[in-house]
Structure 1
């Protein structure tokens, strides 16, 4: 099972409420997956690169991390600690060096970009959202996921969203049948998945297509040809988000659009409390059809 939500705000006046709205949407989906939960928030564009990291021992791991990383990179690094996660702001052009340093120190990188921050952990959506103060977060758009583990263990690294490219992440409801074959292909292309979760394979696939010059719509269309199984993908990028369902579309999905927003939910009840939902255009995404919105 698993529950997915997504919200793309057209009305800038709603941006301060993004985290609050997404939290309510995700909590509504709790019974679709109580194992772990996560949210990616796209805030205002920053001129500096942000890397979200995670540790099971944050007090020890994050103590002095900003200074040590600053010394290693030869430039200023700031750090904002949020429970088991921290958001590091780095000098431009140092991402590869920073990732190498963090990997050597055993610090897990959740995602990177100029606007995206990712927070995910084991536990119920209401508890995960409270730990990371998601309700207080603003931004232009975001996606979330609550998981029922089937193909891999219940761990933080197995939780969604998966980010495998700057300001890009993906959530998934379903199961892929050719993920091991795709894992080998993607590894040869330099996009090796780091976990056993088949969703990360899909995220790496999207990253590889974007790196090859495809736009988001083309990358999502490619999933219909190259990925086998049953799936609904919701992908977040710096400028928007996209949705695609497999040709059978056996996983539930519903969308709503008003002048103020576009919203996605695994079930309508995730959208029921959004402002203006009573006048929204509500529909079920068609099978094998790509939808995406950008700002």
Structure 2
């Protein structure tokens, strides 16, 4: 709740970072990612996905254009090795250079309605001029940083890419300025309320993104790796948001339509904002209300909720 009302500070240095440089960096990224990387101007970022040859998802990523021929890709921690191997293989034949800078990059996320005003006190850069998905360099608490107005909480906020040697000083300066330290459990609750996917749950190597609420990421008008397979795979399931009348849903819990099992919870938990259990679940495409979730052997009524569960900032 401190993130929803103030400013929460997360250490997300476990995330992976790749640099992609060269005269064919854009051409390579257009082939490797589902979103339209050509729309990215220097200093802008976009959410995207890495499709596999079967039309599933290798990973969901964030792509930042740092310079005309230089991009930064942020990938999920559990997928660093898999993504690296996938991109190295795909990059053959393109005039690009890939560098895995995960080990030499620390990443902090400052999120919440007070994030901008709190950060402004530690930098000379005018943050009011920065829009969502802007990426830029600045000094924070006297240390060089790359900042992006991005996040994984549904709140306004900034992500700070730092030299690991500077990270502790910046972290302490942000705490001293009034940020509340927050952990990955809180981050997961926030992203669930925001209706964001978590790789390995809502998105996997076998998930067709066109069958999800994030189909907007896939730009069908361009060519990309795995496009034909993706377009040829019919959707047997749909992803829905559920709010429970009682109980806390967890991953793997069964979802029923009436008496029939029609799906499973992929992410679930307690929403402090709604004061109820909420879930993301895959159910059969034709499944209709009334829905129930089996929580510890008992069926709890569940109503369909539009995503996000809470308004995004």
Task: Give the TM-score of the pair, scaled to structure 2.
Answer: 0.23
Query: Quick one: higher RCO (CA 8 Å, sep 6+), 1 or 2?
Result: 1
Structure whose alpha-carbon radius of gyration is higher: 2
Which TM-score applies when normalising by structure 1? 0.24
Higher helix share: 1
